[in-house]
Chain A
């Protein structure tokens, strides 16, 4: 079985690791590097619990082989908080009760955070479209949409 040495920069820290070709990015992050924030909820790329950012794009880390991302910069949920304090999106999730069990939350945050980088004053429907690839079984989405909407609103005010 072939093995590959790769390097990944995760939340600003560079890591060297050796992976099988079939090692998924999510498994490399969770098992090899200990970034257990991203979760696995399905086998088919449907649930989005594993969403991370690779070179600035939100992608599903269960649908990407780690070896493909050799040299990439990866951002995970662990990198969102600012010096230990919740960032604005995370704080709005707490304030709006946008999480219950929290299993979908890391992926949901990474998708929403990426979406908010370009979206100004998004409508509720646009927010619902943006998180379409992230399933949540607990919240019914209403409060998640509130949290993202409020985060956008706060960002709008501060500009």
Chain B
């Protein structure tokens, strides 16, 4: 069965195998949600608020209902009256967290531009949209607020009556007293104010759903753009629709990117499913790009002050961080976790900082809800510590590389318990930094920088270190901190009776290449050629349980589960081999799919042949059940901690403000590498999004509370001519507790790239006495900062 041109099954792990999922995608044959078309399908469109904050006085749907080809028009009251639970929940509790009602369609007030008020179902998507305009809504406008600090500091009408002061939570982490002491004793302090604007995730495929309710069987099937179909199944069953979980099938077909935005349970998908249940007809909905900008959870939105205390010799003594985080108009599932635990716990970065204290005030504002976007919390936290470290180095007049190196957690300190409540599993931070710096000639660049400055040319070198907490776990610890979901992942590894392998995985791909990496894991563990392995994801009827894909967890937690399941399968096969070869189990060796008796290589059986025996059941060891499959639930003992160092060299043109990225180097340590091609791809895409945030992107609201960046020609998604080529490299420090030594790589580069670029630009502009510029640093920002407008 194995193909001699391919690497042997065991070599497959770690090699740059081309992706198996590419072929249908390249041929245009792959099925995305919008490609699903069912007989009798209707189309749904949502009428959204065009006010930031207003009371709903009345809704008149009659004229829309009267239109030809309009099937139905629904309001929030209709949903209420149907008796479904209709309550979009949070998935993370915090002490004193305010959890206001969040319904599928608004009934009392609209709280941000884009809140859904009514839905039209029609025979065609065009008619559905035409009918939206015929719905008449009378509003009483209310004052609104879009900035987090203003929402809680100023006297503004509350977004929710439940939170008079607009405070969703007031979160603290660390030891305030120890920090005060450190600041009192330290030789120097430095401080920096940081504004992280809202980022719109911009998956190229907008959110979509096709729901098909069958009234005779009372079963609902829904195809949707989901990063976690099982979570969606659970939330739709328990929180919004009330349909029993065992009558609900969620399918995530090909998903065109997610970056966090397709984790959440949004009103629109629930309304689509609910409408299908009301009408007993299939209903399709797909967001326009503007709707996607108005309703996909945004990322970031932090206002922060960070202070560092350090001694003359460059030793950091303490860190104090104060943040106002925008939550948006509604509490999305991880809207409370992202700016609290996912953020404050990484503030120590790669450094030994003895005292850390962070306070985060989560503020409701009349804006699109904010939740996890690639890097979630960790990106914001690493941005804070890296910018603070750069500013502190300036204060000390010390080279930032030297300063950062001096404070790294030494390799021998792992596992390292930080002052921000995490235990880093493993790391070799100095090696990462050195590897990155090997790609440039740091000393020579510093000299060149000096020389060019004489000519009025400004180059800058930015070096940022990051560490990421990936694969949120274990479940019990997460539960203690408030999580309402588990941190495990589940898979089934099954030999089919003819010797092929089916892997059912609870994660859900949106471009990460799971079908290939998971097959590589199974091939390694089972000694079966790749082409005999089929990986299945994204269908709750085929895969019984799963948590999904987010937080850089799939390779480490999902892959870890598959490795464990495959090993258990292999051990069962070994016992069958021992039995049929009439040897003791301890004498059976396994090599590239073949079991043989130690010292007697002729007495052997291939694992794929054993599969057949296992299902025949004619000749199994005493007491053994037939079959060869294992269901695994893997609950890791800790996060994994990917880390690395990114370096950028930029040249800034003072006259025009133009920023040219001369070189971008990424050194990532994601533990063991399953597929270097895919790891590089994840790093590239992450860098692009990190550079996007640093130089181009950012959502904004106008005076009226309207989203200003509402179209793709108004929000700056980086395009091909705006990005450089990337140089990537890796160090490998395995995670000691992961079954594969894997750490994960999905978010790393996004986390690293933003502070790297900002450091480089700030470094270039040192002669202008600029310590920091807020993002996005557009050419105009540079031009103004360097006095161009004087």
Interface residues, chain A, CB within 8 Å of chain B?
A: 20, 22, 30-31, 35-44, 46-47, 49, 76-78, 80-81, 86, 90, 93-95, 97, 99-106, 109, 124-125, 127-129, 131-132, 134-145
Contact = CB atoms under 8 A, between A and B. Distances in A.
B699 to A, nearest CB: 15
Main DSSP-derived SS at the B contact region:
loop
A97 to B, nearest CB: 5
B263 to A, nearest CB: 15
26 contacts: A20-B126, A22-B126, A35-B28, A36-B34, A36-B35, A39-B256, A41-B256, A41-B289, A42-B289, A43-B711, A44-B289, A46-B712, A97-B681, A100-B513, A101-B203, A101-B204, A101-B257, A101-B510, A102-B25, A103-B254, A128-B720, A128-B721, A134-B719, A137-B257, A137-B685, A143-B684
Contacts of A127: 720
A116 to B, nearest CB: 15
B26 A93 contact: yes
Given A93-B26, A99-B25, 6 more contacts: A30-B35, A80-B26, A94-B19, A97-B678, A124-B725, A141-B723
Among A80, A104, A142, chain B packs the most CB atoms within 10 A around the CB of A142
Among B27, B32, B254, chain A packs the most CB atoms within 10 A around the CB of B27
Contacts of A134: 719-720
A137 B689 contact: yes
Contacts of A143: 680-681, 684
B45 to A, nearest CB: 13
A43 B290 contact: yes
B738 to A, nearest CB: 23
Nearest to B749: A140
B684 A140 contact: yes
B29 interface: yes
Nearest to A37: B28
B28 A101 contact: no
Interface of B: 18-19, 21-23, 25-32, 34-35, 37, 126, 202-206, 254-257, 259, 288-290, 510-513, 677-678, 680-681, 684-689, 711-713, 717, 719-721, 723, 725-726
A97 B19 contact: yes
A20 B26 CA distance: 31
Nearest to B258: A101
B685 A138 contact: yes
Contacts of B202: 137
Contacts of B288: 43
Nearest to A107: B204
A145 B720 CA distance: 9
B233 to A, nearest CB: 22
B711 A42 contact: yes
A124 to B, nearest CB: 7
A124 B288 CA distance: 33
A135 B203 contact: no
Given A43-B288, A132-B720, A80 B27 contact: yes
A46 B293 CA distance: 15
B28 A100 contact: no
A6 B37 CA distance: 23
A43 B289 contact: yes
A101 B256 contact: yes
Contacts of A124: 725
A100 B681 contact: yes
A97 B679 CA distance: 10
A103 B204 contact: yes
B257 to A, nearest CB: 4
Nearest to B68: A1
A139 B725 contact: no
Given A43-B290, A47-B712, A140-B688, A105 B681 contact: no
